[in-house]
Amino acid sequence: MSGMPPPPLSRRTVLCGLLALAGTAAACGNGKPPRTGGTGTAKPGAELARLSALPATGGALVETEGNGILLIVRTKDGAVRAFDPRCPHRGNLVSPPVGGVIDCPTHGSLFDGETGEVSKGPAKTGLVQIPVKVDGERIVLI
């Protein structure tokens, strides 16, 4: 094998090297598996977040046990809902609602910030709602 040139570097390897030089490893991982969306391994009764951690209207992405992530929103009437934040179009993570709209920054799908219903494609369906309840200050998985 001596005398043979090394195999060419993949685009990912080159990109990760450039990102490392820039001080970020977002596209390369940090030794942890990537967040996949959904409840992960959280079981019913698991605390997902505190009510005080959410804006009065709007929402936040919260990590769950077992490498999951949920989008938890508080509506104008005070209800709390959780959604799997994977866009039904291609599975990319959506952003928390801004101005009552949840958007998928990857391909531009838009969803209602309170119901998760799709309002603009390419997604054909809304976000999957995850059952939660408020128990005092705690938001828990049902």
| DSSP string covering 23-65 | T--TTT--SSPPP-SB-TTPPTT-EEEEGGGS-SSEEEEEEEG
Whether 117 maps to a domain, the answer reads yes
CA distances in angstroms from 138 to 16, 46, 51, 83, 116, listed in the order given: 39, 9, 6, 17, 22
pTM equals 0.75
Say whether both 27 and 64 belong to one domain: no
Say whether both 80 and 103 belong to one domain: yes
In which domain, by residue range, is 113 found? 47-141
Say whether both 53 and 120 belong to one domain: yes
Whether 42 maps to a domain, the answer reads no
Q: Domain holding 94: CATH number? A: 2.102.10.10
Dist. CA 87–CA 122, nearest whole Å: 10
What are 7-30's pLDDT values in tens digits?
A: 555 444 444 444 444 443 344 444
What value does the mean pLDDT of the chain take?
84
Q: What is the DSSP letter of 93?
A: B
- Band of residue 142 on the pLDDT scale cut at 50, 70, 90: very high
CB atoms within 10 A of CB 130: 22
Residue with the bigger pLDDT between 74 and 21: it is: 74
Whether 127 maps to a domain, the answer reads yes
Say whether both 29 and 72 belong to one domain: no
Whether 125 maps to a domain, the answer reads yes
Say whether both 29 and 51 belong to one domain: no
Question: How many structural domains are present in the chain?
Answer: 2
